């Protein structure tokens, strides 16, 4: 039922639009639940499968653990190989994030705050980097790195990851830095603050949401990286967890439950990290779009 129009004292008629009520279309909720199930279902299956025995998985592949077995997870955690691979993944991810953030913030600051010849062309160069995934350049990259001392070292993975992480970082951070009012920079200059001081004291704190966003995205991307370590590492002592999952599943191909436990532990840190900072990522990307 439509509401009656409101007439003001001067005779102006204001028509009130009825508020939309209810829970919305059931079709939208059904499709959303199906998409959630498709995304979460495999993850839950892997995690729960680690609490089962091989006989339980063979008898009822889609069943729940009965009884729950924690021995698979304990067996994986007690191996030195798992912790070595976890340390390799963490080391590469942290160094990658540090370099991407430092170089990305510096490049974004120049592109956002200074006007010079070739500025737009440089920005478009970074933007075009988003169109070339790592899989496209992996073969020429391998040919180039295999002739250098970087092969079979963490830096053979870190440096390419930094190069492929910079375009996304610059695209996200440039709007943040461009949105900083010029008046703040002028006031800092009047107070005797140098350009480097303004960058360190004002720019970095104000762009912190964007910095956290790109740090999380690059950390998760580095942790889950598979193709680049596969090409660059020949020594098993340098393997990261994604490579470890492949090696472990090949070695223990008959022990499905323990393979599922190893896979769960390998993906759990990135999953927890991403879930905790999900709001930070959304807030940072929203700020980048607004900027």
| Residue 149 CA: distances (Å) to CA of 133, 142, 145, 200, 233 | 24, 12, 8, 35, 12
Q: Which two tokens stand for residue 275?
A: 């879930």
Dump pLDDT digits (tens) for 46-89.
888 889 888 888 888 888 888 888 888 998 899 888 999 999 99
| CA atoms of 64 and 51, how far apart (whole Å) | 9
**Residue 149 confidence class, pLDDT cut points 50, 70, 90:** confident
- Boundary-marking domain end, from 39, 69, 99: 69
Question: Three-state SS for 66?
Answer: coil
For helices 134-146 and 155-178, the axis angle rounded to 10 degrees is: 130
DSSP alpha helix (H) spans, 114-201: 119-128, 134-146, 155-178, 182-190, 195-198
What is residue 116's predicted lDDT score, i.e. its pLDDT? 81
**Residue 27 confidence class, pLDDT cut points 50, 70, 90:** confident
Read off the CATH number of the domain in which 245 is found.
Answer: 1.10.3720.10
**Has residue 287 got a pLDDT over 60?**
no
The answer as to whether 207 is a domain residue is: yes
Domain with 42, as residue range(s), is 25-69
The answer as to whether 18 is a domain residue is: no
The answer as to whether 230 is a domain residue is: yes
What is residue 285's predicted lDDT score, i.e. its pLDDT? 57
The answer as to whether 19 is a domain residue is: no
Q: What are phi and psi of 223, to 5 degrees?
A: -65, -40
The answer as to whether 20 is a domain residue is: no
Specify whether the CB–CB gap between 46 and 260 falls below 8 A.
Answer: yes
The answer as to whether 125 is a domain residue is: yes
Q: Quick one: 39 and 160 in the same domain?
A: no
The answer as to whether 248 is a domain residue is: yes
Residue recorded with tokens 């924690």 = 70
Dump pLDDT digits (tens) for 165-216.
999 899 888 888 888 787 887 787 887 777 777 888 888 888 888 888 888 8
The answer as to whether 42 is a domain residue is: yes
User: How many domains is the chain partitioned into structurally?
Assistant: 2
What is residue 139's predicted lDDT score, i.e. its pLDDT? 84
Specify whether the CB–CB gap between 98 and 211 falls below 8 A.
Answer: no
Q: Quick one: 254 and 113 in the same domain?
A: yes
3-state secondary structure 34-50: HHHHHHHHHHHHHHHHC
Radius of gyration of the chain (CA): 26
> What is the enclosing helix (H) or strand (E) of 270?
helix 256-276
Burial class (CB in 10 A: 0-12, 13-18, 19+), 57: middle
Q: Quick one: 51 and 90 in the same domain?
A: no
What is residue 87's predicted lDDT score, i.e. its pLDDT? 94
Dump pLDDT digits (tens) for 105-137.
988 888 888 888 888 888 888 888 888 888 888
């Amino acid at each position: 039922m439509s509401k009656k129009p409101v007439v003001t004292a001067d005779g102006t008629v204001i028509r009130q639009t009825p508020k939309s009520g209810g829970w919305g279309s059931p079709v939208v909720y059904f499709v959303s639940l199906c998409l959630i199930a498709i995304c979460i279902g495999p993850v839950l299956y892997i995690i729960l499968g680690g609490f089962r025995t091989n006989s339980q998985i063979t008898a009822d592949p889609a069943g729940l653990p009965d009884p729950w077995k924690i021995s698979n997870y304990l067996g994986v955690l007690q191996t030195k190989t798992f912790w070595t691979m976890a340390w390799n993944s963490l080391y590469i991810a942290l160094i990658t994030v540090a370099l991407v953030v430092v170089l990305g913030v510096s490049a974004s600051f120049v592109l956002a705050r200074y006007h010079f010849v070739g500025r737009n062309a440089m920005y478009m160069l970074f933007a075009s980097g988003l169109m070339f995934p790592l899989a496209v350049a992996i073969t020429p990259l391998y040919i180039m790195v295999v002739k250098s001392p970087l092969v079979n070292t963490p830096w053979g993975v870190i440096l390419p990851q930094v190069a492929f992480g910079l375009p996304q970082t610059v695209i996200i951070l440039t709007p943040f830095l461009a949105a900083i009012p010029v008046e703040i920079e002028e006031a800092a200059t009047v107070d005797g603050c140098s350009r480097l001081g303004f960058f360190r004291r004002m720019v970095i704190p104000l762009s912190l949401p964007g910095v956290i966003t790109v740090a999380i995205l690059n950390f998760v991307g580095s942790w889950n990286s598979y193709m680049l370590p596969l090409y660059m590492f020949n020594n098993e002592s340098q393997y990261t967890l994604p490579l470890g999952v492949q090696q472990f599943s090949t070695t223990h191909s008959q022990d499905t439950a323990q393979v599922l436990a190893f896979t769960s532990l390998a993906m759990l840190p990135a999953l927890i990290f991403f879930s905790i900072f999900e709001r930070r990522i959304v807030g940072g990307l929203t700020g980048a779009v607004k900027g």
